[in-house]
């Protein structure tokens, strides 16, 4: 095999192992990776880029970024209601 063929297989094997890791964590500690954005973040922490991590979880990188941004804002981004006096 050539080096490029080896590198392609190593990439496939690495992504498969990363997917298995996130699935195992989802079973043993569901609060840690309770939704798709947290699973993608877990995969990013393992070294995958956002695009590849999102594809492994069946979504897109833009969707994950949007969900994380909305989560950081604290909800849907709508106006908060004023308290009654």
Residues 5-39 have pLDDT tens digits of: 888 999 999 999 999 999 999 999 999 999 999 99
Mean pLDDT computed over every residue of the chain = 86
51 CB-side CA count, 13 A: 0
Indicate whether 54 belongs to any domain: yes
Indicate whether 24 belongs to any domain: yes
Report the pLDDT value the prediction gives residue 75, as an integer from 0 to 100: 59
Q: How does DSSP assign the chain, residue by residue?
A: --HHHHHHHHHHHHHHHHHHHHHHHHHH-TTTT-SHHHHHHHHHHTT--HHHHHHHTTS-HHHHHHHHHHHHHTSS-PPPPPPP-
**What is the number of structural domains in the chain?**
1
Report the pLDDT value the prediction gives residue 16, as an integer from 0 to 100: 93
Report the pLDDT value the prediction gives residue 70, as an integer from 0 to 100: 86
Indicate whether 51 belongs to any domain: yes
Indicate whether 81 belongs to any domain: no
Indicate whether 3 belongs to any domain: no
Report the pLDDT value the prediction gives residue 83, as an integer from 0 to 100: 67
Indicate whether 20 belongs to any domain: yes
Residues 52-64 have pLDDT tens digits of: 999 999 999 999 9
């Amino acid at each position: 095999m050539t080096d490029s063929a080896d590198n392609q297989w190593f990439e496939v094997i690495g992504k498969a192992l990363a997917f298995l890791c996130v699935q195992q964590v989802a079973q043993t500690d569901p609060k840690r990776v309770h939704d798709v954005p947290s699973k993608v973040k877990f995969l990013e922490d393992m070294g995958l880029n956002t695009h590849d991590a999102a594809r492994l979880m069946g979504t897109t990188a833009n969707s994950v970024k949007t969900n994380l941004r909305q989560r950081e804002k604290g909800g849907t981004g709508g106006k908060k209601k004023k308290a009654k006096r």
